[in-house]
Structure 1
Amino acid sequence: MFSATSESDTITRIRLDDREIVLVGTAHVSRDSVDQVREIIQTELPDTVCVEIDHSRYQTLSQKNRWQSLDIAQVLKQGRGFLLLVNLVLSSFQRRLGADLGVSPGEEMLAAVNAAKERGIPFVLCDREIQTTLRRAWSQTGFWGKNKLLAALLSAGFSREKFSEDEIEKLKEKSELHGMMEELADFLPQAKHVLIDERDQFLATKVFQAPGSRIVAVVGAGHVPGMLRWLEDLKTGQAADSLDEINSVPPRTRISKILPYVIPVLVITLIGLGFYRSGFAGGMSGLYRWIVVNGTLSGVGAIAALAHPLTILLSVLAAPITSMNPTIGVGMVAGLIEAVFRKPRVEDFERLTEDALSLRGFYRNRITRVLLVFLFTSIGSSIGTFIAIPLLFPAAVG
């Protein structure tokens, strides 16, 4: 038997035969949500408390000095520069929402865990790892979608828009959230599927698998409608309780594996044809155009990030070479160089989360400055590549 009864805008009580799940929908920067979560756990005294948080985010919330162990050079070498940047932007957006209300993002989740610990109640971290979610969203989004996603994240992260406490509380109303989800689906359907739909399934399955006859599940209000559908399907057997498929990054397609090698082969071919058809002068002209256009725009990116002068110079020199190497990007090289010339200080680690709240802070902090250098030089080199390739054709065709 499956039944769901809404006791209020934020609490839904679900019956699964002899089990009961109390689903609590919260706003992630709401003081009322923090208080309500503590009260419900104290009143219900469940067998298990489930919270919409992953292990990495739990460590970040519970270990305030965790950023101080960050090795920015290692992050870039492992190809996780973009993921770290997105993490910081998303965190800064939520921190800014809660700043005027005196609430830290995710405080209600931490309150739920602490309330469970105080009463000796087991708790389960039910969300999918953020790195997996971001990698899946990125891999399933097309070229233009990636640009739209990046633009949306940056605009949200550095927006100066203010929200009142009443507006934050309205985010817990299903009608408001439905409109937001529809807007996201229209704007980026692939990203919406990964960020919302798949996590609805993940959260519902984790709650369904949680031990005990009475469960309190604390989740963002936007996930409640989707979770109800998945819980009913899990109960009736219409959905399997395996999460293997959505808990891994899809393997790269054959085209995505080949594509990084296409541009180097094309550039070398066009420059080689320039030497063959137009002589030494024609070949050197094509080579000169490739170096100047690609290197210059990468250098412009470094300047936009206010990089160290030597980082700018070396970005210009490295970009034409790294663009021909599918395994090393100019962003990685430029970011590592910037980290050497402007080594992050102790205060940069201590102020990282605060500086990430604003664009000015991003430029002031040496850690986030490295990430800006990584991002802007990569964008500059990519634009330079697409501009330079057509300029190689005149000499190549004779």
Structure 2
Amino acid sequence: MSDNKNILDIDENLRLLGTAHVSKTSVDLVREQINEYKPDIVAVELCESRLAALKKPEGIDNEDLLKIISEGKSAMIILQSALSVQQRKMGISSGEKPGAELLEAINLADELKIPVELIDRDVVVTLRRAWRKMGFREKIRVITSLLDGDEDDDFDLEELLEDSDLLSSMMEDVYKIAPNAGHVLIDERDLFLSGRIQQIRGKGKILAVVGAGHISGIQMNLKKPTIETTSKLPELRKQPKKPSWPKYLMLAIPILLISAVLWSGIKGDFSTVWDSALIWLALNSLLTGIGIIIARGHPLSVIAGALASPITSLNPSLAAGWFAGYTQLKVSPPTGKDASDFLEFPSFYSMFFKNKAGRVIMVTSLGNLGSTAGTFLAAGLISSGLI
């Protein structure tokens, strides 16, 4: 067995290899271990979608943008992209693209005719579970942390790989910032990776290439009975259900307000009706417009979002940001270069505010955020005037 702390032999037929996803040393180590250990199976911390992205990095085209807008995925894309930016910054400084060592493991295994097993959970499921489990404050802390461009927090990746205490400290920081997200991104995936490894044990010598931060968790879970880990895989694969209360709340607000305003009209208090209508129109339009302006949206997108907001706020199945995003897509369509460059920018600001494809997503997201804020603020002011 190697003296390297990130090479761990569980038994004679299972070796865990911990890597940093943006380290050139990890790429070399993967190559070395496959040639030295001569596994019958190479298990890799990837899912099908992440593997496809590594093999054929693509940008985001107009059809993708329409899907993001219509399915309300703009916030999720922003979170995923912010994570990618942070990882890419580390990769740029180390001279490697994120996931280079995982791709090297697969390419070398294919070259040597060694079967490959993808053992990670689908990244979309992971992100959705993390997003749903986080509370509002936790989401704000995560986004603020991801967007913090402090360059003074630089560290040596190779030192990180060698220093288990430093690695543990960084993992603990994740839990401090976002305990619920940390549970999904680390604990759940440790369990999932362990379960998948257990499923393929007994088929020969296995070299499992995983992020160094997962080594201790996988080792702990592998000590449990096989049935205990593998039986939890179906539950861990489940997409989280959307909570129903936000939909009912957004439906209840306009119903209650319209009912109250109509009652005022029936009583002949038309000044209250007029004031309520003005407050609703003004706050919904104003805050939606401000959100789109912050996103550097086209003036026509600002107008589209502002006009749509008072109406969409009365209908939970619609969103002002969709109209603004669609308008932005039409009046300032991303070029082929914008699409291909979207996932290559080294900063969050460049990705979403300088790139036309990213700007469509940001216009949609901030337009929706402004509309939601306008709805609640207007509802509060109108209610206080009616009571």
Equivalent residue of 2:88, what SS?
helix
**Does the CA contact (< 8 Å) of 2:198 and 2:230 recur in 1?**
no
Aligned to 2:23: 30
Equivalent residue of 2:9, what SS?
strand
Offset of 1:170 from its aligned partner?
1.3
Aligned to 2:205: 214
Shift in alpha-carbon separation, 1:42–1:305, aligned structure 2, 3 A: same
Offset of 1:35 from its aligned partner?
0.3
Instruction: Find the aligned partners of 1:172 and 1:393 in 2 and give their Cα distance.
Output: 60
Aligned to 2:330: 340
1:381 aligns with 2:371: yes
Instruction: Find the aligned partners of 1:278 and 1:197 in 2 and give their Cα distance.
Output: 61
Instruction: Find the aligned partners of 1:190 and 1:277 in 2 and give their Cα distance.
Output: 50
Please show how residues 193-342 of structure 1 align to structure 2 within 5 Å.
193-210=183-200, 212-235=203-226, 237-276=227-266, 279-342=269-332
Instruction: Find the aligned partners of 1:218 and 1:68 in 2 and give their Cα distance.
Output: 32
**Does the CA contact (< 8 Å) of 1:277 and 1:396 recur in 2?**
no
Offset of 1:93 from its aligned partner?
1.3
Shift in alpha-carbon separation, 1:165–1:147, aligned structure 2, 3 A: closer
String of CA shifts for 1:154-175, please: whole Å, max 9, x gaps: 33xxx25266672453155321
Instruction: Write the letter of the residue equivalent to 1:363.
Output: F
Shift in alpha-carbon separation, 1:178–1:215, aligned structure 2, 3 A: same
Instruction: Find the aligned partners of 1:389 and 1:363 in 2 and give their Cα distance.
Output: 31
Equivalent residue of 1:49, what SS?
strand
Equivalent residue of 1:233, what SS?
coil
When the two structures are superposed, what TM-score results if normalisation uses the length of structure 1?
0.90
Instruction: Find the aligned partners of 1:321 and 1:363 in 2 and give their Cα distance.
Output: 27
1:49 aligns with 2:45: no
Aligned to 2:82: 89
Aligned to 1:39: 32
Instruction: Find the aligned partners of 2:26 and 2:35 in 1 and give their Cα distance.
Output: 14
Shift in alpha-carbon separation, 1:171–1:293, aligned structure 2, 3 A: farther
Extract unaligned runs of 5+ from structure 2.
Answer: none
Equivalent residue of 1:351, what SS?
helix
String of CA shifts for 1:228-286, please: whole Å, max 9, x gaps: 11111134x54444411111123344535533323322332343344345711111101
Instruction: Find the aligned partners of 1:217 and 1:153 in 2 and give their Cα distance.
Output: 29
Equivalent residue of 1:328, what SS?
coil
Aligned to 1:110: 103
String of CA shifts for 1:345-369, please: whole Å, max 9, x gaps: 1111121122363413422211000
Instruction: Find the aligned partners of 1:49 and 1:314 in 2 and give their Cα distance.
Output: 52
2, 8, 23: which is aligned to 2:4?
Answer: 8
Identity percentage of aligned residues:
35
String of CA shifts for 1:108-150, please: whole Å, max 9, x gaps: 1101111111100001111111110111112222233333333
Instruction: Find the aligned partners of 2:325 and 2:293 in 1 and give their Cα distance.
Output: 13
When the two structures are superposed, what TM-score results if normalisation uses the length of structure 2?
0.92
1:169 aligns with 2:153: no
Shift in alpha-carbon separation, 1:136–1:165, aligned structure 2, 3 A: closer
Equivalent residue of 1:387, what SS?
helix
Q: What is the RMSD computed on CA atoms of the aligned residues?
A: 2.2
Of residues 300-309 and 184-193 in structure 1, the stretch that sits farther from structure 2 once superposed is 184-193
Of residues 128-137 and 77-86 in structure 1, the stretch that sits farther from structure 2 once superposed is 77-86
- Runs of 4 or more, structure 1, over 6 Å off, are none
Instruction: Find the aligned partners of 1:325 and 1:137 in 2 and give their Cα distance.
Output: 27
Instruction: Find the aligned partners of 1:101 and 1:252 in 2 and give their Cα distance.
Output: 39
Offset of 1:308 from its aligned partner?
0.8
Instruction: Find the aligned partners of 1:369 and 1:66 in 2 and give their Cα distance.
Output: 14
Instruction: Find the aligned partners of 2:157 and 2:132 in 1 and give their Cα distance.
Output: 33
**Does the CA contact (< 8 Å) of 2:338 and 2:355 recur in 1?**
yes
Instruction: Write the letter of the residue equivalent to 2:370.
Output: G
Instruction: Write the letter of the residue equivalent to 1:144.
Output: R
Extract unaligned runs of 5+ from structure 1.
Answer: none
168, 190, 203: which is aligned to 1:178?
Answer: 168
Shift in alpha-carbon separation, 1:274–1:360, aligned structure 2, 3 A: farther
Offset of 1:91 from its aligned partner?
1.4
**Does the CA contact (< 8 Å) of 2:106 and 2:116 recur in 1?**
yes
Shift in alpha-carbon separation, 1:83–1:118, aligned structure 2, 3 A: same
Of residues 257-266 and 29-38 in structure 1, the stretch that sits farther from structure 2 once superposed is 257-266
Instruction: Find the aligned partners of 2:80 and 2:211 in 1 and give their Cα distance.
Output: 18
Instruction: Write the letter of the residue equivalent to 2:224.
Output: D
Instruction: Write the letter of the residue equivalent to 2:47.
Output: D
**Does the CA contact (< 8 Å) of 1:270 and 1:392 recur in 2?**
no
Instruction: Find the aligned partners of 1:82 and 1:254 in 2 and give their Cα distance.
Output: 18
Shift in alpha-carbon separation, 1:396–1:66, aligned structure 2, 3 A: closer
